[in-house]
C-alpha cells in the first residue's frame, strides 16, 4: 500500500512540477526493498522536505512509521518520511551499525556489515534525485538505537543533513575508552554545526538521562548536550519549564542558529511517547543545509 501510494504521489508530482526536476519513477524502483516511504497527499508542487525515521534496536522501519504517527504530521505539513531497516539482522528486526560500538546484542557490528552511514546518505540522495525531495531540507530522527544512529549521522555526515532530533538516544560520539561516562571527542567532529533537538523521559531505565544503562553506553544526556554545544559554538546554557510535565535543557547563542536542546518528559519512559511531533517538526523545519 505504501509503495502504491508513493507511485501515485510521485506521478502527481511529475505532472504538476513542470518548473522542477522530473520525478523519475525508475529511481524509486531502485530504492532498497526494506524501506517504508510515506508521501503526504496531495504532494506539493515544489520539492518537499524529507525526514528519515530510524527504528530502535531489533525493530523495523514499518513498526516505527506506525508507532511514531509521523505520517499524520507529514500530511499536515507536507514532508516525506522514509523509515528504512537497519543493516544488521537481530531478533525479530534489525540494528544499526555504529562502528566500534556494540549493538544491543552486546556484540560489535560484524565484519562486512552494511555501512549504514553510506546507506542512509545514499538513500537520501536517491530520493533527491527523484525531483520530489528538497536536498537542502533533509532531517533525521530515530528512537533509542535509532537515536544513537541519528546522532552518529550528525557527527560524521553533517553536510548532508540540516538538523537531527534523536529520541531517547542522544549521543555525541562513541564513549571514551578510558572512561565510558564521557564522550570521546575524537569520534564526533562534524564539518559544520549540527542543530539538534532531543527528546527523553526522566523515568527511562533503558537509557537513563543521568547516565548508566548498557555497559557500553554510560554517559549522561547532559554530557552529550555539552559536547554538541561546544561543537556548535553555543555560549549560553539554559533550563526552563515548558509545562507541568515537560522541561527543556539546552544551549543558546549559537552561530547560524545551530541550537542544542533536549526536552524531557517527567515520568517519561523509553518510547516515542516522550515526543511532541509538532514541536519536532517546528524545530526541524527552521533549518536548511
Residue 81 within any structural domain of the chain: yes
Going by C-beta distance under 8 Å and a sequence separation of 6 or more, which residues neighbour residue 131? 13, 14, 17, 20, 21, 22, 23, 24, 47
Instruction: Provide the residue range defining the domain that includes 91.
Output: 2-284
pLDDT digits (tens, 9 = 90+) for 145-201: 999 999 999 999 999 999 999 999 999 999 999 999 999 999 999 999 999 999 999
Residue 25 within any structural domain of the chain: yes
- Cut 0.85: pTM above it: yes
pLDDT at 147: 98
pLDDT at 116: 97
Cβ burial 15-24 (10 Å sphere, 16+ → b, else e): eebeeeeebe
Residue 289 within any structural domain of the chain: no
Looking at the structure of the chain, the number of domains it has is: 1
Does 242 have pLDDT greater than 90?
Answer: yes
Residue 176 within any structural domain of the chain: yes
> Residue 29 — pLDDT band, cuts 50, 70, 90?
low
**Does the bond joining 42 to the residue before it have cis omega, within 30 degrees of 0?**
yes
Residue 136 within any structural domain of the chain: yes
How far apart CA 124 and CA 118 sit, in angstroms, is: 10
pLDDT digits (tens, 9 = 90+) for 115-144: 999 999 999 998 998 888 999 999 999 999
Residue 17 within any structural domain of the chain: yes
DSSP string, 16-71: H-TTS----HHHHHTS-SSEEEE--SSPPSSPEEEEEEEPPTTB-HHHHHHHH-HH
Lowest mean pLDDT among 3-17, 43-57, 84-98, 225-239: 3-17
Residue 279's H or E segment, with its range, is: helix 277-284
> Residue 19 — pLDDT band, cuts 50, 70, 90?
very low
For residue 201, give the DSSP letter. Answer: E
pLDDT at 13: 43
- Domain with 217 in it: what CATH number? 3.40.50.1820
Residue 185 within any structural domain of the chain: yes
> Residue 28 — pLDDT band, cuts 50, 70, 90?
low
Residue 60 within any structural domain of the chain: yes
Amino acid at each position: 500500500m505504501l509503495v502504491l501510494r508513493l507511485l501515485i504521489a510521485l506521478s502527481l508530482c511529475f505532472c504538476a512540477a513542470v518548473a522542477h526536476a522530473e520525478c523519475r519513477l525508475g529511481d524509486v524502483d531502485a530504492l532498497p526493498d526494506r524501506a517504508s516511504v510515506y508521501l503526504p497527499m496531495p504532494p506539493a508542487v515544489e520539492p518537499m522536505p524529507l525526514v528519515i525515521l530510524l527504528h530502535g534496536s531489533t525493530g523495523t522501519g514499518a513498526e516505527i512509521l506506525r508507532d511514531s504517527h509521523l505520517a499524520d504530521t507529514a500530511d499536515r505539513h507536507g514532508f516525506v518520511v522514509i523509515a528504512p531497516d537497519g543493516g544488521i539482522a537481530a531478533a525479530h528486526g534489525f540494528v544499526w551499525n555504529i562502528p566500534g560500538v556494540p549493538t544491543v546484542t552486546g556484540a560489535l557490528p560484524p565484519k562486512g556489515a552494511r555501512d549504514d552511514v553510506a546507506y542512509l546518505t545514499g538513500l537520501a540522495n536517491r530520493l533527491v534525485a527523484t525531483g520530489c525531495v528538497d536536498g537542502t531540507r533533509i532531517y533525521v530522527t530515530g528512537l533509542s538505537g535509532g537515536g544513537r544512529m541519528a546522532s552518529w549521522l550528525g557527527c560524521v555526515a553533517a553536510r548532508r543533513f540540516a538538523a537531527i532530533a534523536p529520541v531517547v538516544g542522544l549521543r555525541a560520539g562513541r564513549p571514551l575508552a578510558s572512561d565510558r561516562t564521557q564522550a570521546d571527542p575524537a569520534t564526533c567532529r562534524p564539518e559544520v554545526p549540527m542543530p539538534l533537538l532531543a527528546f527523553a523521559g526522566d523515568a527511562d531505565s533503558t537509557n537513563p538521562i543521568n547516565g548508566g544503562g548498557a555497559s557500553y553506553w554510560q554517559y549522561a544526556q547532559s554530557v552529550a548536550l555539552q559536547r554538541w554545544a561546544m561543537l556548535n559554538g553555543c555560549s549560553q546554557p539554559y533550563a526552563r519549564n515548558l509545562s507541568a510535565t515537560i522541561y527543556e535543557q539546552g544551549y543558546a547563542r549559537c552561530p547560524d542558529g545551530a541550537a542544542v536542546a533536549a526536552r524531557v518528559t517527567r515520568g517519561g519512559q523509553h518510547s516515542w511517547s516522550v515526543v511532541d511531533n509538532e514541536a519536532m517538526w517546528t524545530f526541524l523545519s527552521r533549518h536548511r543545509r
